[in-house]
A = this chain, B = another copy of it.
Amino acid sequence: MINVYTTYLENIEKHDIYVLIDTLRATSTISTLLHCKIKSLEIVESLEKAFLKKNKILIGERNAQKIKGFDYSNSPVEILKNKEKLNGKEIVLTTTNGAKAFNKISSMGKVIPLSLLNLNSVYEYVKDYTDIGIVCSGSNGVSSLEDLYTAGLFLRNFKDVDLNDGAKIALSIANLSVEEIKNSDHARTMKRLNLNEDIKFCFKLNVFNEVIIME
A residues in contact (CB < 8 Å) with B: 3, 5-7, 9-11, 138-145, 148, 164-166, 168-169, 172-173, 175-176, 180, 184-186
Q: A9-B10, A172-B175 are in contact. Are A165 and B180 (CB under 8 A)?
A: no
Q: How many copies does the complex hold?
A: 2
Residues from chain B with a CB closer than 8 A to the CB of A184 are 165, 168
User: Smallest distance from the beta carbon of A120 to chain B beta carbons, Å?
Assistant: 24
Residues from chain B with a CB closer than 8 A to the CB of A175 are 172
Contact of A148 with B169 in the complex, beta carbons under 8 Å: yes
Which residue of B7, B10, B148, B164 contacts A185 across the interface (Cβ within 8 Å)? B164
Residues from chain B with a CB closer than 8 A to the CB of A10 are 7, 9, 138, 141-143
Contact of A168 with B180 in the complex, beta carbons under 8 Å: yes
The 9 closest A-B pairs by CB, nearest first: A11-B141, A145-B165, A9-B9, A10-B142, A6-B143, A172-B172, A165-B185, A6-B6, A144-B165
Cα distance A169–B138 when bound, in Å? 13
Q: Which residue of B lies closest to A187 (CB)?
A: B165
